């Protein structure tokens, strides 16, 4: 049986598998799904997971649910849009820009609504429907709202999203509206929006922010898939953008489980990259402190990671410790240049994702990374997620004045 447990190792509290709590009732830390070792041998599991890619059954065709031996199980129907199964793309121009030789992007922006949030949402929404939920809700910088709205529509539930007014990109807001969500604008930051929602949470509302342990389960499968694509041999480094730190936590959990279940021997060193204006974890890492100090007014062009008080920081730090990784930050200018390089590879991404490539160049310059190292960088959002940013930054230099017919 799967069940929920407190993520604080010393606490030891366990809860029923489908408890609706958002935090440990004893110590207040975040919850996580306890996964038991699969019954199959690692080699048989690997074959089974791959074979499912030849099936059209929804639970096999989903790049999340084909790994269901390490996920909570459901008799009820899953809520899926065929997420996951995104390619690992070699990136030569980007590698050259950063000065390294062996770089692959795992583009989680190539998911149904254009970000990795879909991977978590298929799992979270399946749980919500299993519970008989009528309305799901989240606070979001935009991508969670888009994914929540789409998967709620898919699962026949109403969606309500809390967005910081004027801060989410128009593209993400448009998605949420198009999928039929009710949008509540909050005067303030993402952190304010999240607090507002937590205060409003009642029994009729199911809360699907990244502190929801079921979302973490869905997101962790990205790393099972990554390792599969690397032939189950870890690259040297894994670069991940860090905002609320749910994704870093999910990836850390994935590596702990893969190691524990005998699926892999080595783990990649995980590097969390934050934007300099929203860098509480990087500050904590540099200061070697023990308590996170929130950044009161986070500021960065990478709105998906404009978060001053990340909820999942403890789990993220555990992931860094487990993988022998590190935490760093990059400036808006650095990530802007990196984003252009990723575009030149014909790949593209949203600003937050480009922190990964900017981070690689910085690590190389600091001699923390060898140019021959094998590196996987996670691109979290699609290039069309923030078109205003691109047109503002690049339009001026690269667009020619309109020609009149006479001069053509
Ligand atoms: C949500 C998001 C992030 C940040 O992920 P966290 O889990 O909050 O750290 C980064 N990039 C994009 C594009 C996102 O949508």
In what side-by-side order are the strands of the sheet with 205-207? 182-186, 158-164, 135-139, 205-207
pTM of the model: 0.95
Domain count, the chain: 2
Judge whether residue 193 has pLDDT over 80: no
- Domain assignment present for 69: no
Q: Are residues 15 and 109 in the same domain?
A: no
- Helices 246-260 & 313-323 angle (0-180, nearest 10): 40
Q: Are residues 243 and 331 in the same domain?
A: yes
Q: Are residues 231 and 323 in the same domain?
A: yes
Give the domain extent around 19. Answer: 1-36
Q: For residue 340, what is the domain's CATH number?
A: 3.40.50.1100
What pLDDT score does 362 carry?
Answer: 98
Q: Are residues 228 and 334 in the same domain?
A: yes
Is the CA virtual torsion 53, 55, 57, 59 positive or negative? negative
pLDDT digits (tens, 9 = 90+) for 172-186: 999 999 999 999 988
- Domain assignment present for 193: no
Q: Distance from the CA of 44 to the center of ligand 1, in angstroms?
A: 33
Q: Are residues 98 and 29 in the same domain?
A: no
pLDDT digits (tens, 9 = 90+) for 83-142: 999 999 999 999 999 999 999 999 999 999 999 999 999 999 999 999 999 999 998 889
- Domain assignment present for 341: yes
Q: Are residues 110 and 5 in the same domain?
A: no
What pLDDT score does 202 carry?
Answer: 66
Pairing of strands 135-139, 326-330: unpaired
- Domain assignment present for 314: yes
- Domain assignment present for 65: no
pLDDT digits (tens, 9 = 90+) for 13-41: 999 999 988 889 999 999 999 999 999 99
Q: Are residues 27 and 110 in the same domain?
A: no
Q: Are residues 29 and 100 in the same domain?
A: no
Cβ–ligand 1 distance for 138 under 6 Å, the answer no
Smallest CA separation from ligand 1 atom 14, residue: 304
What pLDDT score does 315 carry?
Answer: 96
What pLDDT score does 408 carry?
Answer: 62
Rounded to whole angstroms, what are the CA distances from 354 to 271, 361, 394?
13, 11, 15
Q: Are residues 362 and 270 in the same domain?
A: yes
Q: Are residues 93 and 9 in the same domain?
A: no
Q: Are residues 94 and 22 in the same domain?
A: no
- Domain assignment present for 337: yes
- Domain assignment present for 176: no
Please identify, by atom number, the ligand 1 atom nearest to the C-alpha of residue 385: 13
Cβ–ligand 1 distance for 242 under 6 Å, the answer yes
What does the block give as tokens for 258?
């893969």
- Domain assignment present for 184: no
Cβ–ligand 1 distance for 235 under 6 Å, the answer no
Q: Are residues 322 and 388 in the same domain?
A: yes
Cβ–ligand 1 distance for 209 under 6 Å, the answer no
**Do residues 352 and 338 lie in contact, with contact meaning Cβ atoms separated by under 8 Å?**
no
């Amino acid at each position: 049986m799967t069940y929920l447990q407190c993520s604080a190792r010393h606490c030891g509290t366990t809860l029923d598998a489908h408890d609706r709590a958002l935090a440990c009732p004893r110590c207040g830390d975040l919850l996580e799904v306890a996964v038991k070792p699969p019954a199959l041998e690692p080699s048989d599991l690997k074959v089974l997971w791959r074979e499912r890619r030849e099936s059209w059954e929804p639970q096999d065709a989903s790049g999340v649910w084909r790994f269901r031996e390490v996920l909570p199980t459901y008799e009820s129907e899953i809520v899926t849009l065929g997420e996951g199964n995104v390619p690992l793309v070699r990136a030569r121009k980007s590698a050259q820009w950063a000065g390294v030789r062996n770089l692959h992007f795992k583009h989680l922006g190539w998911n149904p609504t254009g970000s990795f949030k879909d991977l978590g949402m298929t799992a979270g929404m399946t749980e919500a429907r299993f519970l008989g939920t009528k309305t799901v809700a989240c606070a979001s910088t935009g991508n969670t709202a888009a994914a929540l709205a789409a998967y709620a529509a898919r699962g026949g539930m109403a969606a309500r999203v809390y967005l910081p007014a004027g801060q989410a990109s128009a593209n993400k807001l448009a998605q949420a509206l198009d999928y039929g969500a009710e949008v509540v604008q909050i005067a303030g930051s993402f952190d304010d929006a999240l607090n507002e929602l937590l205060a409003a949470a009642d029994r009729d509302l199911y809360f699907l922010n990244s502190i929801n342990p079921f979302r973490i389960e869905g997101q962790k499968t990205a790393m099972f898939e990554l390792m599969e694509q690397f032939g189950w041999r870890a690259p040297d480094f894994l670069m991940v953008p860090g905002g609320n730190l749910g994704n870093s936590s999910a990836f850390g959990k994935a590596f702990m489980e893969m190691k524990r279940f005998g699926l892999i021997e080595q783990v990649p060193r995980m590097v969390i990259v934050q934007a300099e204006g929203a860098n509480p974890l990087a500050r904590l890492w540099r200061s070697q402190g023990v308590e996170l100090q929130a950044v009161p007014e986070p500021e960065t062009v990478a709105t998906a990671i404009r978060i001053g008080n990340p909820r999942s920081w403890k789990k993220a730090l555990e992931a860094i410790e487990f993988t022998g990784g590190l935490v760093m930050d990059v400036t808006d200018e650095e990530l802007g240049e990196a984003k252009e390089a990723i575009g030149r590879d014909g790949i593209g991404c949203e600003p937050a994702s480009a922190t990964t490539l900017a981070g690689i160049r910085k690590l190389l310059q600091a001699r923390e990374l060898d140019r021959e190292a094998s590196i996987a960088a996670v691109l979290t959002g699609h290039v069309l997620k923030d078109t205003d940013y691109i047109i503002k930054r690049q339009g001026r230099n690269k667009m020619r004045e309109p020609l009149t017919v006479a001069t053509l």
